[in-house]
Structure 1
Amino acid sequence: MHVLYHHRTQGRGAEGNHIVSVVSALRQLGHQVRVISPGGVDPFSKDTAPVDKASTKVTGISRVWRFVSRHFPNWLFELAEMAYNIPAYFRVSRELRAVRYDLVYERYAFFLVAGAFAAARHGVPFLLEVNEVSGVPERARKQSFMRLCNAFERMLFRRCSRIHAVSSYLADRAREAGASSGQLAVVPNGFDMNRIPATPRREELRRRFGLDGTFVLGFAGWFDDWDRLSNLVEVMARILKVSPDFRLCLIGDGRGRAAAAARAAELGIADKIIFTGAVARAEVYDYLSMLDVGVLPNSNMFGSPMIMFEMMGLGIPLVLPRLPPIEDVHKHGQTALLFEPLNVEECSECVLSLFANVSLRERIAAAAKTRLLEEHSWIRTVEKILDLEPPA
C-alpha cells in the first residue's frame, strides 16, 4: 500500500518519537510511506531528543513557527494554525496528483483540515489519528477560539474514512464531536523492542550517578505541569522513612523541574534526587535501565503515555495513576500497580509493595512485557490501525 503521512507537529519530543514509530512500522510491514512535515521539520533527525523539546534544532519556516508559538499572543498563534491549511492543502494535493496513493494518514492538530479536504478532492481514503481533541483538560497550551476549533473538528470528523484514537477518553470525546462508532476505534500507543540496546549501560550509569547499592525509582520525559513531579518528591519523602536507600532519578527536563527541585529542598531530600537533564534519543533506554521501578506520578486524561510503553519494553515494574489511557492497557496487580490520581499515600504504598517483594516486581514486569509484545508492539499497533481501513 502507498501511504501519504501528513502532520503539523515540530517533530520533537514524544510526538516526534510517535511519528517515527508509526512510519517505521508501516515500512516494516512493506508499505511505501511518504511523510509531509512542516518546512524545516524532520522527525527522523537524530538531533531530536524525546526528553528535551526545547533544545531540538529547527530550520527554515519552522524556526519562525517556533518563534511565533513562544512569543506571540495565543490568539494570533491560533490564527496562524488556521492559515496553515492553505499551504498544507496545496502541498498534499500536489503530492496526490503526482503519485497514486492508497491512503492519507494524518495526525490530528487543532484547526487542521487540509489533509481531509485534499484526500476527498482526489478520492483517497483518509485515516485520522487522534492524540488530542479540542477542549481537553490540562492541555499545555490554552485555547483562545475553542468554539471555532470545535467547528473545525466536527467538519474534520465528517470527512474521515476511519478514526483511531489513542485512548478511550479521546474516542468518547470524538463521538461527542460527531464521529460515528462505526468509523472509530481505540488503538493505544506501542513500542519497538528493537530499539533496546543489546547491552544497556545500567551499571556504568548507576556508578556515574552514585546509585550503586540503592533502590531507584524514576520517571522520564518532558516535564509538563500535569506530570506533578512535586507529588513524586512527596512520595520520596514518605518512603525514605522506611529505608534511606531509595533514590529518585528524573530523566529529562522541562518547566516542572524547578518546582520539583524546590520541593525537594524544602523537604530536605535534595541529595536523594538526581536530575539527569536532557538526554539524547539514542541514550534514553540506557538511562531508563538504571531504574528499579518506574513511576508516573500523574498524566493527563487523554494521552497514551509513550514512556509507559518504553518502560514496559525494558521490563521495569510500573506504578501508575488510574487514568483512562492507562487503564486501556493495564490491570491493577497484573501488569502494574495502580493508584488513585494525585493520592501520594496510595502511590507510596504501591512503591513500598514493590520494594518489599522481589517476586511481585518480577511478575508484573514480565506480564507487562508479554502484554506489550502481544498487543502493543508498534507492528501490532499499526496492524490494528490499518485493519480499521475498509477494503478498497
Structure 2
Amino acid sequence: MGCNSCASSTGGQPKGCKNNGTCGTDGCNKLTVFDWLSNMSLPASMEPFNAVEVRFKNGRKEFFQNPENLTLSIGDIVATETSPGHDIGIITLTGELVRVQMKKKRIPLKIEALPKIYRKASQKDIDIWQSYRERESSVQKRSREIAIRLGLQMKISDVEFQGDGSKVIFYYTADERVDFRELIKEFARTFNSRIEMKQVGFRQEAARLGGIGSCGRELCCSTWLTDFRSVNTTAARYQQLSLNPQKLAGQCGKLKCCLNYELDTYLEALESFPNTETKLQTEKGTASCQKIDIFKGRLWYAYEKEGMNWHELSAEKANHIIEQNKIGKKPMALEEFAVEIPNPEKTPFNDVVGQDSLTRFDQPKQKGKSRRNKSRNKSKSKNAVTATPAASPAKKRPRKSNKNRKPNKPNKPNKNE
C-alpha cells in the first residue's frame, strides 16, 4: 500500500517516506482505515454522507463537514476550521464509512454541529504549515528547559503547531497534578503564540510517539489500535507466563496490550481443565497439581510425601478421578492413569551430504599439541628474558685453554669393596 517514494533506492537502501505523511495512497499514515465501501454505489434515494475524517499530527483525528461540496478523496490536504484561525490536515476517510466511524466513537451524527472545511490547501498554506512543523523539535527542547527551571514534575512529550501558527499544543505526562499557570505565561512570552496544554496518559504518549515493540514490529497503539482496554496480571497467569515486569511491560511502562489478544482462547481451553487447587484422593495418598500444559492438555501431579516424583495425567483422566472422589471412591494410585511417554527412537547419523563425522573435533591430533606446547614454551622463555631486570655490567673472565686444564683423576676404589 506504500507510495513510490517509500521504495528502495538504487543502492538497495530504503529511501523513507519523502512526503512526510502526505502520501496519496494513505499507506504511510498512522491508524489508517481501509475504505471497503469505496467501490459500492449508493441507492438512488440515498444522499451521500457529507462529512469527512481528517488526520493531524501523530494520529490525531477529527470529523468535519463539507458545506461547499468539494470533491475530496483520501490523501488530500485541506484547510479546516479551528478556534482561532485555521488548521491544515490530511483526509483519511470519506463517504459512508465516516458515519460508521462516528457511531463507533459515539459522536452525534449531526453534520451541522461539526466544524467546516474551508478549502483545499494551496501551496502557500502547505509551505507555512511545513515551516512551523520544522520548528517543533526546537520548541520542544526549549519548553523542557523552561519546565525544569521552574521545577515542575512533568514531561513534555510532544509539541504540535497549528497550521497557521496561531496556537501551539503541548502534550505532557505527569504522575500528579501540576500547577502550570506560570509555565503558560513563560511559554506565551517565549513563543509569541496561544498556548494549550493537554495531559495524556503513558499509553497515549507511546501511541503518539510510536516505536518498535519486543516482537520487532511497530507498536499496535500507533498503527491500528484505537481503544485502550485495561490489562491485568491475571491475563499473564492464565497464559502461564512468568510475572516478570521487564518482559510484560511495553514501551509505555504498562502491561502490554497484546496480553489480551489470546486471552479468550486460553480461557476457552481451560474450561476442560480441572481446578488446579483440587487435590486427587487415592489409596496411595493425596496428590496435588504441580504444573499444567494447556497446549498438550496435560497435568502433572505429585504425592504430598513424594514431591519430586511427578505423574503426568491428561485432563480427561484427572476429571475422572475427581468425579470418583466426589462419589467416595478412591483409585489405587496415579500410576494407573499416568500417560505413557514413548521413548524416541535414536536415528544414527547419516552422511547424506558428504560431511565428516560429528565427532571429528573431539580428539585433536597430538602433533598439533606438541607444536603448540613448543611455541608456548618459546614465548614464555622470551618473556622471562625480557622481564628480568638489566644487571650491572660485570668483567668477563678469560676462559682457560684446554692445554692448561688438568685431566680428571679417576675415583679411588672404596676399601670396603
Instruction: Place the TM-score, normalised by the shorter chain, in its bin.
Output: under 0.3
Q: Which has the higher contact order (CA 8 A, sep 6+)?
A: 1
Larger radius of gyration between Structure 1 and Structure 2: 2
Instruction: State TM-score, norm by structure 2.
Output: 0.19
Q: Per residue, is there more helix in 1 or in 2? A: 1
